[in-house]
Amino acid sequence: MCAIIRALFSLMALIVQKYGGTSVGNPERIRNVARRVLETQQAGNQVIAVVSAMSGVTDNLLKLAKDVSDHPTDREMDVLLSTGEQTTIALTAMAINHLGGRAVSLTGAQAGISTDGVHTKARISTITPKAVQKMLTEGNIVILAGFQGQTSDGQITTLGRGGSDLTAIAMAAAVKADLCQIFTDVDGVFTCDPRVVSVAQKIETISYDEMLEMASSGSKVMQSRSVEFAKKFGVRFEVRNSMNNNPGTLVKEEEPGMESVVVRGVSIERNQAKITIDDVPDRPGIAAKIFGAINRANIVIDMIVQNVSFDGETDISFTLSAADLPKAEAELRKILPELGDSVDLRSQSGIAKLSIVGIGMRSHSGVAARMFSALSDAGINIQMISTSEIKTAVTVNESEIESAARVVHTAFGLDKVA
């Protein structure tokens, strides 16, 4: 009787977990994931586990595609690649059933994930989680294929990079999950890359905006896209390690107390390059011409700095990935004559970007100054500066990025207390 009353009143949580390709990389790891998922259910929860393709499988499929076609159509790439997750969901469900649990697998299409028709990088339009909810209600663990969906007319689509994270977060929003856990191969989000700053510490809680700035500044725990989706729909999620039981990093909406931390983390991005266009006439339409050319070449640029006009002429600098430098230079040289007679172009590679991120910056003054003086004290020259509301970024010589990260990390009190 007592047990029945407890059961009636206990709050059963609905949890969405996501396991990436490394976490399900071979049968042994799949069995490990199965155990973890089953334990989560046995602790009294309903569980939806989103899984990726086993690591290596996607590469094999890409190789097969290349063996039959130089330019496979995007539609058929989606039909091909979606078999990767379909294989994992079946194996994971089998492994859970083998442990005595009850699991059923669902493809993206079966789970009601509808997308637009942009094959290989589709966007989720709606989720109709009827089948998922029915299976949960029947006592099943639902194993859901990440990265995939279908159009309204039944074509298979995939969601592109970071697609499985997106599946987990979108499904968590659709079923109003109590918690979404993104299992990966690191313990969470750190104040800086621990390979560079050995005293970096795991961040317990971070806001969506900080997470977005960290992601866009080189801390690639997750694609910005999934974080943006989570922010839009208010999905709290935790990034944690599938290989241990350490608590991870909770990513959630901003809360007043969060601002007491001025800088949440330090992010570094290597292999950057800089292009400067000198003596550009300071008149409307010039920037549009420059960045239009860059955009047509499908090159992503990052920091843009334009100096104050002097004598009606100005300099425009921006950073980009060093790999894109030759292409960007070639595109720009084509349009240089349109910009003016004296316009010239300089470029430099071998630079890196250092960013500090924190919503506390908004309410604390002197943050940028403290960063600059820490770098100056270490004798590190700052080349470019760019700021947003919750981020300050600088570029330095690539050879100095590691020591720059360390001194800034220390300057903002982020070092782990030994």
Question: Is 158 exposed, middle or buried, given 0-12, 13-18 or 19+ CB atoms closer than 10 A?
Answer: buried
- The torsion angles phi and psi of 194, rounded to 5 degrees, stand at -60, -20
Task: Choose between 31 and 274: whose C-beta lies nearer to a copy of itself.
Answer: 31
Cβ 104 to a copy of itself shortest distance, Å: 7
Q: Map the footprint of a copy of itself across residues 44-73, applying CB under 8 A.
A: 61, 64-65, 67-73
Rounded to whole angstroms, how far apart are CA atoms 370 and 409? 11
Cβ 94 to a copy of itself shortest distance, Å: 4
Rounded to whole angstroms, how far apart are CA atoms 325 and 331? 10
**Which residue from 187, 250, 211, 225 is spatially nearest to 358, judged by alpha carbons?**
211
Determine if 80 is a binding residue for a copy of itself (CB under 8 A): yes
Tokens of 67: 């063996």
Determine if 82 is a binding residue for a copy of itself (CB under 8 A): yes
Task: Choose between 11 and 68: whose C-beta lies nearer to a copy of itself.
Answer: 68
Are the C-beta atoms of 164 and 149 separated by less than 8 Å? no
Number of chain residues interacting with a copy of itself (CB under 8 A): 40
Are the C-beta atoms of 354 and 408 separated by less than 8 Å? yes
Task: Name residue, tokens 């071979």.
Answer: 26
Determine if 174 is a binding residue for a copy of itself (CB under 8 A): no
SS3 96: helix
Cβ 382 to a copy of itself shortest distance, Å: 50
Tokens of 207: 């806001």
Task: Choose between 174 and 390: whose C-beta lies nearer to a copy of itself.
Answer: 174
Among 75-83, 255-263, 336-344, 365-373, the segment contacting a copy of itself (CB under 8 A): 75-83
- Which listed residue (55, 62, 75, 313) binds a copy of itself by CB under 8 A? 75
**CA atoms within a 13 Å half-sphere pointing along the CA-CB vector of 131:** 14
Among 27-35, 195-203, 214-222, 333-341, the segment contacting a copy of itself (CB under 8 A): 27-35
Rounded to whole angstroms, how far apart are CA atoms 343 and 315? 9
Q: Map the footprint of a copy of itself across residues 122-161, applying CB under 8 A.
A: 131, 154-156
List Cβ neighbours of 177 (8 Å cut-off, separation of 6 or more).
14, 15, 16, 48, 171, 235
Task: Choose between 64 and 369: whose C-beta lies nearer to a copy of itself.
Answer: 64
Task: Name residue, tokens 């789970």.
Answer: 111
Determine if 410 is a binding residue for a copy of itself (CB under 8 A): no
Task: Choose between 3 and 68: whose C-beta lies nearer to a copy of itself.
Answer: 68
Contact letters (x/-) for a copy of itself, 88-107, by CB under 8 A? Answer: -xxxxxxx-xx-----xx-x
Task: Choose between 106 and 316: whose C-beta lies nearer to a copy of itself.
Answer: 106
Determine if 317 is a binding residue for a copy of itself (CB under 8 A): no
